[in-house]
Chain A
């Protein structure tokens, strides 16, 4: 069975600091998809990125970047120059290409950005 681990329960940084959220996954499948979601205080999950297992290119979107490394089964998320509005719970998730269509989520990392 697949599993997603986010070892960091809570991170606190000061505005403008860079911060990296770790995500490690386990699966025996060769085709899978990795996701990051943001859950602000309002509660609704906001989709940030999807990556498939064949595409190990790192991605940058504004202040956000993602580092996917199959060799270490990791899909880490970095926020550069953090802002107070980045404060949220961030979830990493995994979905297989076959069988169940649901996501397997990590336990989440609460990021607190202090002004």
Chain B
């Protein structure tokens, strides 16, 4: 069974803090993704990575950065957290290839920035 795990289910941080959200997958997937989920907006892509040290911006990368030093781990970094980054963050992974590749999602991290 593919497993995508995220370091925390719930996180509370203060404005201005640097925040790390970690995602690990155990199926040797090349592709990894970070999405943000907000009510009424669905899931929006922040960043994705298709290989170690490779990354591409998604639809809403502002205020975020990512790191992929190892194939199994994809980190989302909030350099200086702000209240408008309070959201649910979902990580996903898939094998490389086209649209047929099934995407597996982690359980999500609900981040609150106060």
Q: Would you call B81 an interface residue if the criterion is a C-beta within 8 Å of the partner chain's C-beta atoms?
A: no
Q: Does A52 lie within 8 Å of B99, measured CB to CB?
A: yes
Total number of B residues with any Cβ neighbor in A under 8 Å: 31
Q: Would you call B50 an interface residue if the criterion is a C-beta within 8 Å of the partner chain's C-beta atoms?
A: yes
Q: Does B99 lie within 8 Å of A32, measured CB to CB?
A: yes
Total number of A residues with any Cβ neighbor in B under 8 Å: 29
Q: Does B43 lie within 8 Å of A105, measured CB to CB?
A: yes
Q: Does B107 lie within 8 Å of A102, measured CB to CB?
A: no
List of A residues within 8 angstroms of B9 by Cβ:
43
Q: Does B44 lie within 8 Å of A33, measured CB to CB?
A: no
A59, chain B: closest CB distance, angstroms: 15
**Interface bits A100-112 vs B (CB < 8 Å: 1, else 0):** 1111111110000
Within residues 25 to 40 of chain B, which ones have a CB less than 8 A from any CB in chain A?
A: 31, 33, 35, 40
Within residues 37 to 95 of chain A, which ones have a CB less than 8 A from any CB in chain B?
A: 37, 42-45, 47, 50, 52, 91, 93, 95
Q: Which one of B31, B33, B43, B108 lies within 8 Å of A91 (CB-CB)?
A: B43
Q: Which residue of A lies closest to B57 (CB)?
A: A100
A105, chain B: closest CB distance, angstroms: 4
Most buried by B among A4, A33, A45, A105: A45
The 7 lowest CB-CB distance pairs between A and B, nearest first, are A33-B99, A45-B105, A105-B42, A107-B42, A105-B43, A43-B108, A95-B99
Question: Could you name 12 residue pairs across A and B whose Cβ atoms are closer than 8 Å?
Answer: A4-B42, A6-B42, A33-B100, A44-B107, A47-B102, A52-B99, A91-B42, A101-B48, A101-B101, A102-B48, A105-B44, A107-B41
